Structure formats: structure tokens, C-alpha cells
């Protein structure tokens, strides 16, 4: 029989398990966000095969195809966790992720966008299910006052993977190559796979030790005849004498016996109501009565979904809305920040025909001219020279290029033409300095955008463990789930319609996201039955991915309809999602109060209360 959660929770090995599980998630989140961190470089890399609008649609597919399989798979992944056990599923999912990330890297190396999409589909088969396994492992090894803390620590590590990706990947792409940056992610994910096998070793060893202790305690426990004899000699009742002797031997084992008896009674009642299921022995092993009916178990789990409470569904919708704002925005945040603050569009070449003061274009493409090239007079050049305003340091350099040339410009290629050899009509002077200056400034802006887009994750990494402790100690999870989307709504409205203040707004988004993530996941165990925890986390993840498969495509469509611009329409789309989260969050807060506040209640003393009543 597998060791109980309380027994594992008393083992010091749980902290080693926490480290291994946390690292197992780092590679997953690092590789998931690879495309977002290098979106601008990817667009340049594929510039010779697709224009800007087509790239935006294909880029959105990299995230949609990841999420589409996860509409169903995390739910079944939760059932697999319940059926096959955490060891087998953790290792299996990590191996699949490593293979899938290698396929994506191979697609980049071979310059094949379809192969990258295939890799992302495979990545999606295991990516979200891995978080379901992680949640199940934490609930096995940690209880009560430590649960939210450990969720916060693992979240901190996983988002640390995203932060590392946002900083390291663009730097590697610029200094080495785009291909190297993707293969580096695969290597990091391989190390996370090694950590998952390390967890298996620790889990098996801990369970073996606990079983040996149980066996020794059982052998040391006095028999029924000895209890009666001792009771007659000592003048006490057999029951009392046996209880005192047993508690003196090991108080913890009493808790274990009581817990197992309660669980056995619950299983017997469930069997009477829903039909008995085949029993399992060790994790992932069949019992002597025959192999378990997986499909029967899946059918039973699917049937149990209809019994999930209204509170559970409000939590699920709240997770969908709030995570969609943060995660979908992050996918395109690099270009969003470049357009808004860091590399704003240049003025029309007709209005400012020099790339810096004193160095003006003698001509530029113009379809209205007889030969397709406009040649300004000396007076126009003089006016242009004196009227150019280059005081905005984050403004694009005016490019003397056709739209076709602009769409195929690849700053990752060698100067002086940067991949425009096949599009050199009208001819670009080989002695030009403005293309090199443009690419230099763009690279600086991209690196700064990568740092800015990581601000919410920086805050999340630093605050998650602390917030986990705070929520364990003071509760109020439902209140946090109602307030966080209000902040997100305000943030994205200001990003859409106001200039400046970008860093403070991203700080606010990071604070709201960190509080929400820390408050949402741990209390789920208090609104569903223990035997359905894996399925519950799977359902939440599945429905979240239903949104994640659609929202990137919607954002790409809004971007294209807005003239290939993110502002303000795409930001308004995110603000609308956040406002829907406000409505659901308020409903969640009200419902929580109606059912005894399982979300807002403090669970810090749950362990002590359980022991007191045992």
C-alpha cells in the first residue's frame, strides 16, 4: 500500500522533492516562452518567406496549436496521474517535452515553420499535463500550512524559467545565432528531465523507509491477548491500556491508522453509490484481482464532473480570464513594447527624408513617380534637413526602402544589405550607413523590451514564496481573486490610451498576477473531494487552454484589422478579458461567503485541528 500524504509530509525528504519538482518545471516554462522572447528575431529570420502580416498569423499558431490539444489532455492527464501515479507520468511527460523542444529547434535550424508547428503540437501534448502532475505531487507531500508556500515556491521557479528565457534567449540569438538559442532551451529541458527521475528515486526510497517503519511498529504493537492480560494486571480497561501503549510507541502511526480507516469507509460508501472500481497495489501496479479498467475509471471521472460545485466553476472561469490576460499578452509583449515605447514607428519618409541630421536621402521609392523613384529638389532637402527631429531616442530610423524591402529586411543577416540581396530594387547603395544604424538600434530596443516584458515575472519569482506563506497564514484567497483582475483592467486600459509609465504599469501587472496565482491554486483542494483532486486540476487547465488556443488568434486578427498595430485595439481586447475576470471574481467572493468561506478561510491550523480530533 502506498504511503499516505501525512506520512510523506512528515519526512524531511519533502524539501528535496520540492527542489526537484521545481527544477523539473524550469525547462518547461523556459522552452514554452522561447518564441515570445525572440519574436522580433524570428520575424527577421523568416522575412524572406513571409511578410509581416502572415508572420503574425503563423506566430500565433505556435501558441494556439500548443493549447488546442490541452483542451482535453490535462483532464485526462489528471486521470492518468490518479491511475498511473505521479512517478510514471512526471518522467513520461518530461521526456516527451524534451523530444518536442528538439523538434522545434530542428525546425528553426532547417528554417521550416511547419516543422516548428509540429514540435509545438507535441510540446502541447505534455506541457500542461506536467503542471497537473506537479500539483498532485505537492498535495501528496505537503498539507495544511505548508501547501500554499510550496505552490508559491514552485511557481517562483517556473516563472524563473520564463525570466531566464526572456533575458538569455534574445542575447544568445543576437550574439551567437537564433538556432543556438533554441537548442540551448532543449538542453535546459533535458536537465529538468533528469530532475524528474531524481524525484522518482527519492519518492521510492521514502516510501520504502516508511513501510519498514510501519512494519516495525506493527510488530512491536502488543497483541489482543497481551492487552487483556496487561489490563487485568493493571486494573485498567483493555481499550484504554492498548491506546496508551500504542500512542507511547508512536503517536504518528495512530493518525495513520485512523486516516486509513476513514479513507476505507469513504471508499466503501463511494463503491455503494457509484459502483466499485478495481483496486491497485503499489503506484502504477495492478492488483491481484486483475488490471484496472482505465476506461471505466475515465467514465467515472467524467461523470463526476457534473457534481463539481458552482464554486469550482467560478474558480475555473476566473483562472481562464486572468491567466489569458497575462499569458497571451506575454506572447506578443516584445512587439507591443517596441511599438509603444522602445522603437516607435518612424515618420513618413516624405516628411523627414534623412536618417540623421546632415545626411539626407537623395531619392526614395514612390509609386506615383514616373520611374518609381522620387528625387527631391535641393530646397526640399534643405527643408528636410532643418526640420528633422531626432530628439526621440526610441524612434525608428527612417528607412529609404520599399514596403517589400521593409518586410524582408533581416537584421540577423550580414551588412550592408541584411538579406535584401534578392530585393535590391530600387538599388540600395552598398555604402549606406542607415541600415546598419537601424539594425543596431533595433537590437538595443529588443533587449530592453525583453527586460521590460519580464518585469511581471521578476515580481512573481521574488514574491511567490512570501505570498504563499502570507496566504497560508491569513487566507482571503477569494478577495484576492476579485481584486487582481481590477488591477489588470486598469493596467491594460492605460497601456492602450496613455503614454509613458510603462514600467510602473508592468509592476502593477506583476503584483496582481503574483497575488492571483498564489491565491487561486492551493484552495482548490478544499472545494473538491480528495479522490478528484487530479481531475479537478486537469479540468481547470483544460478549460484555460481552450481559451489559450483561441485568444492568440483573436489578438492576431485584431492586430491585422488595426493596420498591423497593437495600439490601442489589442490592448483593449486584453482589458475586456480582465473586466470579465472582475465580474467572475466578485461572484466567486459572494459564493465563497455563502458556503462557509473555503477560499477566504485560514488553513494554517488545519494540521493541528486534524491531530486534535484524531
Boundaries of every domain in the chain: 5-208+308-341+454-613, 343-442
- Rounded to an integer, the average pLDDT of 356-364 is 61
The pLDDT tens digits for 25-53 are 899 999 998 999 898 889 888 887 887 78
Residue 85 near residue 284 (C-beta atoms within 8 A): yes
Q: Over the chain, what is the mean pLDDT? A: 78
Which of 449, 441, 401 is closest to 425 using CA atoms? 401
* SS3 state of residue 378: helix
- Rounded to an integer, the average pLDDT of 10-24 is 83
The pLDDT tens digits for 280-309 are 434 444 444 444 555 666 666 666 677 788
d(Cα 184, Cα 168) in Å, to the nearest integer?
10
Element (DSSP H or E) covering residue 484? helix 477-497
Element (DSSP H or E) covering residue 359? strand 359-360
- The three cell numbers of residue 603 are 488553513
Residue 376 near residue 14 (C-beta atoms within 8 A): no
Per-residue CA distances from 574 to 222, 287, 333, 449, 499 (Å): 66, 50, 12, 19, 17
Examine the pLDDT at 487 and tell me if it is beyond 90: yes
Examine the pLDDT at 7 and tell me if it is beyond 80: no
Torsion of CA 195, 155, 538, 96, to 10 degrees: -30
* SS3 state of residue 356: strand
The pLDDT tens digits for 558-591 are 998 998 899 999 999 999 999 999 999 999 999 9
d(Cα 268, Cα 285) in Å, to the nearest integer?
21
Element (DSSP H or E) covering residue 364? strand 364-365
Question: Domain 5-208+308-341+454-613, what fold?
Answer: Growth Hormone; Chain: A; (1.20.1250)
d(Cα 168, Cα 97) in Å, to the nearest integer?
20
The pLDDT tens digits for 316-336 are 999 999 999 999 998 889 889
Which of 520, 518, 514 is closest to 488 using CA atoms? 514
Report the helix count and the strand count for the chain, using DSSP H and E: 24, 4
d(Cα 107, Cα 275) in Å, to the nearest integer?
49
Strand partners for 354: 360
- Rounded to an integer, the average pLDDT of 494-514 is 94
What residues contact residue 36 under an 8 Å CB cut-off, 6+ apart? Answer: 166, 330, 331, 332, 333, 334, 453
- Top-ranked range on mean pLDDT: pick from 168-182, 356-370, 373-387: 168-182
d(Cα 278, Cα 5) in Å, to the nearest integer?
22
d(Cα 573, Cα 512) in Å, to the nearest integer?
18
d(Cα 346, Cα 406) in Å, to the nearest integer?
13
The pLDDT tens digits for 407-459 are 788 888 888 888 888 888 777 777 667 788 888 888 888 889 988 998 998 89
Place of cell 534643405: 382
d(Cα 349, Cα 351) in Å, to the nearest integer?
5
What pLDDT was estimated at residue 566? 92
The pLDDT tens digits for 371-397 are 777 777 777 766 665 555 555 667 787
Amino acid at each position: 500500500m502506498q504511503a499516505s500524504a501525512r506520512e510523506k509530509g512528515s519526512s524531511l525528504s519533502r524539501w528535496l522533492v520540492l527542489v526537484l519538482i521545481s527544477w523539473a518545471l524550469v525547462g518547461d516554462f523556459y522552452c514554452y516562452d522561447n518564441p515570445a522572447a525572440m519574436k522580433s528575431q524570428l520575424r527577421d529570420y523568416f522575412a524572406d518567406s513571409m511578410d509581416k502580416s502572415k508572420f503574425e498569423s503563423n506566430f500565433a499558431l505556435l501558441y494556439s496549436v500548443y493549447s488546442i490539444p490541452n483542451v482535453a489532455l490535462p483532464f485526462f492527464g489528471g486521470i492518468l496521474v490518479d491511475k498511473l501515479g505521479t512517478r510514471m507520468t512526471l518522467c513520461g511527460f518530461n521526456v516527451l517535452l524534451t523530444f518536442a523542444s528538439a523538434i522545434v529547434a530542428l525546425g528553426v535550424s532547417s528554417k521550416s515553420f511547419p516543422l516548428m508547428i509540429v514540435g509545438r503540437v507535441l510540446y502541447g501534448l505534455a506541457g500542461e499535463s506536467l503542471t497537473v502532475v506537479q500539483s498532485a505531487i505537492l498535495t501528496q507531500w505537503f498539507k495544511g500550512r505548508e501547501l500554499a508556500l510550496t505552490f508559491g515556491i514552485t511557481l517562483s521557479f517556473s516563472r524563473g524559467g520564463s525570466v531566464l528565457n526572456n533575458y538569455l534567449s534574445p542575447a544568445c540569438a543576437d550574439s551567437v545565432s537564433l538556432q543556438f538559442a533554441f537548442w540551448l532551451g532543449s538542453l535546459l529541458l533535458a536537465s529538468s528531465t533528469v530532475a524528474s527521475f531524481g524525484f522518482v528515486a527519492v519518492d521510492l526510497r521514502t516510501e520504502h523507509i516508511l513501510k519498514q517503519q510501519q512494519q516495525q511498529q506493527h510488530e512491536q504493537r502488543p497483541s489482543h491477548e497481551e492487552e487483556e492480560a496487561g489490563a487485568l494486571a493493571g486494573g485498567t480497561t483493555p481499550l484504554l491500556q492498548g491506546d496508551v501503549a500504542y500512542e507511547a510507541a508512536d503517536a504518528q502511526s495512530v493518525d495513520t491508522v485512523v486516516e486509513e480507516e476513514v479513507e476505507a469507509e469513504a471508499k466503501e460508501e463511494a463503491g455503494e453509490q457509484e459502483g466499485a472500481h478495481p483496486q491497485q497495489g503499489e503506484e502504477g501496479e495492478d492488483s491481484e484481482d486483475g488490471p484496472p479498467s482505465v476506461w471505466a475509471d475515465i467514465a467515472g471521472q467524467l461523470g463526476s464532473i457534473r457534481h463539481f460545485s458552482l464554486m469550482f466553476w467560478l474558480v475555473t472561469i476566473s483562472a481562464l480570464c486572468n491567466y489569458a490576460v497575462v499569458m497571451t499578452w506575454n506572447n506578443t509583449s516584445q512587439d507591443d513594447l517596441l511599438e509603444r515605447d522602445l522603437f516607435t514607428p518612424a515618420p513618413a519618409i516624405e516628411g523627414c527624408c534623412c536618417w540623421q541630421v546632415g545626411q539626407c536621402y537623395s531619392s526614395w521609392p514612390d509609386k506615383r513617380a514616373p520611374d518609381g523613384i522620387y528625387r527631391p529638389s535641393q530646397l526640399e532637402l534643405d527643408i528636410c534637413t532643418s526640420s528633422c527631429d531626432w530628439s526621440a531616442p526610441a524612434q525608428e530610423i527612417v528607412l529609404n526602402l520599399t514596403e517589400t524591402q521593409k518586410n524582408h529586411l533581416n537584421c540577423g543577416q550580414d551588412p550592408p544589405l541584411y538579406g535584401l540581396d534578392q530585393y535590391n530594387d530600387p538599388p540600395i547603395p552598398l555604402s549606406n550607413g542607415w541600415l546598419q544604424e537601424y539594425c543596431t538600434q533595433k537590437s538595443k530596443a529588443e533587449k530592453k523590451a525583453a527586460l521590460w516584458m519580464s518585469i511581471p515575472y521578476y515580481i512573481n519569482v521574488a514574491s511567490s514564496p512570501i505570498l504563499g506563506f502570507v496566504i497560508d497564514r491569513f487566507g482571503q484567497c477569494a478577495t484576492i481573486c476579485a481584486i487582481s483582475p481590477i488591477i489588470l483592467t486598469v493596467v491594460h486600459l492605460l497601456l492602450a490610451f496613455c503614454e509613458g509609465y510603462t514600467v510602473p504599469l508592468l509592476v502593477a501587472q506583476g503584483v496582481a498576477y503574483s497575488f492571483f496565482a498564489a491565491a487561486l491554486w492551493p484552495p482548490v483542494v478544499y472545494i473538491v473531494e480528495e479522490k478528484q483532486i487530479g481531475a479537478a486540476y486537469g479540468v481547470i487547465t483544460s478549460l484555460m487552454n481552450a481559451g489559450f488556443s483561441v485568444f492568440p488568434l483573436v489578438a492576431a486578427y485584431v492586430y491585422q484589422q488595426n493596420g498591423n498595430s497593437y495600439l490601442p485595439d489589442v490592448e483593449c481586447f486584453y482589458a475586456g478579458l480582465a473586466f470579465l475576470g472582475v465580474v467572475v471574481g466578485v461572484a466567486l467572493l459572494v459564493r465563497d461567503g455563502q458556503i462557509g468561506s473555503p477560499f477566504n478561510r485560514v488553513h494554517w491550523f488545519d494540521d493541528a485541528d486534524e491531530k486534535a480530533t484524531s
